[in-house]
Amino acid sequence: MATDRPIDDGAAPAGRLRAAAARVPAVAALVEPGTRPAGAPPSPRRRRAPGRSRFKLVAAVRHNRKATAGALILLFFLVLAVFPGQIAPYNPSALAFSPGLGPSGTHWLGTTSQGQDIYSQLIWGTRQSLIIAFAAGGLATTLSVLIGVTSAYLGGVADGVLSLVTDVLLVIPVFPLIIVIAAYLKGAGTLDIIIVLGALGWSYGARQLRSQVLSLRKREFLEAARVRGETSSYIILTEIMPTLTSLIVATFLGSAVYAVLTAAGLQFVGLGNPNAMSWGTMLYWAQNNEALSAGMPLWAIMPGVFVALLGAGFALMNYAFDEISNPALRPVRRIGRAPFVSESDLSLAAASPGGGTGRPEQRSSDG
């Protein structure tokens, strides 16, 4: 005959749970964190879906009007740069036409003072301008990521030295320095312009990336990676870099805008290769031949318009990625407010026939 065992009312609840867990293995997983019942398969490790953050970024870009407009502009110029021979009707360097012709069906933008087709020069000049934008922007962005992320994550002496170099470049007026270097090179080519712009245009992006990584350095997922014994390179490449994707893209777009405008300015003042086919050299030759006063205004206007359009495309994409990476910059949708009703209106509505419904009482037809 079973006898009832006395119950110790003073026993702690945790002690009673552990006693039950000793008899029932399934309870052990609930009482002791990190344990599982004997013979149970190990719980699968939760992994982030591959490409999930990438798909979120693409969806955010698709739903942003600035990004859509900027992408269409960049796509237009990319087509011109990739297929100039199929789009331009003539050789841009051929002196085969009468000089100073106006716009016509044969020459849409007219000809230069040397008899070259302006429209063909404009199409072929797109390629070099885009090469400078992407190459110089990519070089500046690479330096920004290396210096900004490394200095913020390592800290200490490395952070102090790299921050000092960054602050010096932020203080120094870079454009006059670029002019001095380009003048020293005497007719700088495309590669020289790319190296100069990339080597001197990384400081602002590095400062932004450093600030972002400093805010992430003490987060739980980074602490967990350090506890697991992961190396610094693994933590930077696998844990930190994916969270900086939108900011890195915004840094690249800003550097590309700066490269386009600066390269066109250098070539316009004669510090580039005057024989290169680009929008800056078109402006240089148009200014030297006084195109505006000589009846060839499109020779000077259209390269400037294309430079402005390309810069606007990069700028719109840059603003869009700034909004994606920083929610505080996103536009707020205004919700329509309900009309204001005063207390006097409510009292009049309540006293009106129909019980405040705003409709007069319906009389009965029975008389």
CA nearest neighbour of 81 among 126, 135, 136: 126
287 lies in some domain: yes
What six digits make up the tokens of 5?
Answer: 């065992």
Name the pTM for this structure.
0.70
350 lies in some domain: no
pLDDT along the chain (367 residues), means of 10: 48 49 44 44 43 62 83 94 91 86 88 90 93 94 92 87 90 86 80 90 90 84 82 83 86 91 89 87 90 88 93 89 69 57 62 53 46
pLDDT of residue 363: 47
Contacting residues for 77 by C-beta, under 8 A, at least 6 apart? 126, 130, 306, 309, 310, 313
Dihedral over alpha carbons 268, 306, 128, 139 (to 10 degrees) = 90
24 lies in some domain: no
What six digits make up the tokens of 355?
Answer: 């019980």
Rg (CA), the chain: 34
Dihedral class, residue 100 (left if φ above 0, else alpha if ψ from -120 to 50, else beta): left
- Side chain identity at residue 303, one-letter code: P
Domain extent for 171: 66-80+111-328
List the end-to-end C-alpha distance of the chain, in Å, as a whole number.
87
288 lies in some domain: yes
357 lies in some domain: no
Query: Alpha-carbon distance 145 to 147, whole Å?
Result: 6
Helix (H) or strand (E) holding 330: none
pLDDT of residue 184: 83
212 neighbors 300 (Cβ within 8 angstroms): no
30 lies in some domain: no
CA nearest neighbour of 316 among 66, 10, 23, 46: 66
- List pLDDT tens digits, range 69-90: 999 999 999 999 999 989 999 9
CA nearest neighbour of 295 among 117, 96, 114, 112: 112
Name the E strands within the chain. none
pLDDT of residue 176: 86
307 lies in some domain: yes
pLDDT of residue 101: 87
How large is the angle between the packed helices 245-268 and 203-216, nearest 10 degrees? 170
**SS in 3 state form for 291-319?**
CCCCCCHHHHHHHHHHHHHHHHHHHHHHH
CATH of the domain at 216: 1.10.3720.10
What six digits make up the tokens of 75?
Answer: 């796509």
Query: Alpha-carbon distance 21 to 18, whole Å?
Result: 5
106 lies in some domain: no
Q: How many domains does the chain have?
A: 1
122 neighbors 87 (Cβ within 8 angstroms): no
